[in-house]
């Protein structure tokens, strides 16, 4: 089968399409014929070697790319052959990822595909929706929550899921995205820019109870949180100093098929697809994602 991998770090040009033996599922695993695989910022960081330099991925001769997958079960346990599924690959140091014609995942990482979405739409959900949900699990105080990068894939889901939990959401995004993030469920909106803490506090005197920071604003977002509040960071090394007694945590995503199934059934998620490209154009997808300005995920199809 064909798969896209990296054997050296660098720009999009290091992506290689190679022929490899079809993977075989072991006990408790599922073989999936890939229909669609989303392209996420973490894929770019993996390709560039950033995650290896940070100690998140150990040195490997070959690294697969792609966390998110939508496809059809071909073999394994826990599902029937022919079932449409979605899943998350969270073991990111493996030589094969979702950028491939087939992938093997633990059955516990897989969920039935939501019937209301296309495969491309469904493929954008696992990593981003689970990250948002697991980040919200770290928030214990309730009340008012700030979400940075609210127009992004993770931030948009965080706004929607926080709204579904009856939290009062203050969203931070570009002015052009105000209508969109209010549509996700934001109660109040603050344009991104300097002096974020001051501007948030004009809306919420004393500061918000908690902040989710997918945009990695760090101390600027922390300044909007009240003393003794909560802050959730979304990347290794992105957590700010816990000033003013604020409890600072980092969300570390894990695959959870049961949780993913529950999230898709709840109806709060709104997947967004920027474009669909063949797997052979993965390098182009990386270039477009790095250039910015996308609303929604790019999706690759074998």
Residue 107 DSSP symbol: G
What tokens appear for 230 in the block?
Answer: 């909560």
Q: CATH 3.40.50.720 in the chain, residues?
A: 129-250
Nearest by Cα to 57 from 49, 66, 67, 69: 49
CA 71/CA 102 separation, integer angstroms: 9
Nearest by Cα to 217 from 199, 198, 242, 192: 192
What tokens appear for 119 in the block?
Answer: 């495969």
Return the residue matching tokens 């073991």. 91
Whole-structure pTM value: 0.95
pLDDT at 141: 85
The β-bridge relationship of strands 2-6 and 63-64 is antiparallel
Nearest by Cα to 66 from 19, 9, 127, 25: 127
- The number of C-alpha atoms within 13 Å of 194 and in the hemisphere containing its C-beta is 0
The CATH number of domain 2-124+271-301, selected from 3.40.50.720, 3.30.450.20, 3.90.180.10, 2.60.40.10: 3.90.180.10
Q: CATH 3.90.180.10 in the chain, residues?
A: 2-124+271-301
Please report, in tens digits, the pLDDT of each residue of the chain (302 residues total): 999 999 999 999 999 999 999 999 999 999 999 999 999 999 999 999 999 998 999 999 999 999 999 999 999 999 999 999 999 999 999 999 999 999 999 999 999 999 999 999 999 999 999 999 999 999 998 799 999 999 999 999 999 999 999 999 999 999 999 999 999 999 999 999 999 999 999 999 999 999 999 999 999 999 999 999 999 999 888 899 999 999 999 999 999 999 999 999 988 899 999 999 999 999 999 999 999 888 899 999 99
Is the domain 129-250 a CATH 3.40.50.720 member? yes
Nearest by Cα to 234 from 126, 155, 140: 155
């Amino acid at each position: 089968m064909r798969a896209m991998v990296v054997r050296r770090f660098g720009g999009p040009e290091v992506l290689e399409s190679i022929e490899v033996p079809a993977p075989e599922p072991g006990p408790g695993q599922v073989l999936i014929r890939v229909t669609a695989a989303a392209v996420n910022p973490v894929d770019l960081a993996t390709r560039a070697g950033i995650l290896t330099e940070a100690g998140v991925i150990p040195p490997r001769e070959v690294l697969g790319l792609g966390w998110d997958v939508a496809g059809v079960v071909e073999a394994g346990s826990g599902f029937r052959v022919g079932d449409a599924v979605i899943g998350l690959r969270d073991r990111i140091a493996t030589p094969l990822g979702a950028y491939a014609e087939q992938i093997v995942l633990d059955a516990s990482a897989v969920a039935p595909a939501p019937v209301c979405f296309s495969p491309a739409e469904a493929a954008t959900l696992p990593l981003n929706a689970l990250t948002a949900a697991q980040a919200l699990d770290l928030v214990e105080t309730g009340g008012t929550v700030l979400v940075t990068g609210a127009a992004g894939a993770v931030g948009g889901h965080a706004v929607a899921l926080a709204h579904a939990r009856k939290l009062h959401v203050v969203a931070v995004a570009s002015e052009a995205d105000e209508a969109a993030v209010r549509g996700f469920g934001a109660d109040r909106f603050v344009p991104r820019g300097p002096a974020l803490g001051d501007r948030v506090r004009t809306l919420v005197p004393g500061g918000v109870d908690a902040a989710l920071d997918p945009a990695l604003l760090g101390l600027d977002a922390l300044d909007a949180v009240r003393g003794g509040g909560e802050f959730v960071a979304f990347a290794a090394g992105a957590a700010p100093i816990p000033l003013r007694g604020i409890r600072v945590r980092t969300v570390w995503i894990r695959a959870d098929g049961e949780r993913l199934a529950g999230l898709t059934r709840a109806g709060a998620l709104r997947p967004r697809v920027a474009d669909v490209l063949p797997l052979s154009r993965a390098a182009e997808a990386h270039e477009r994602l790095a250039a910015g300005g996308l609303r929604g995920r790019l999706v690759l199809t074998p």
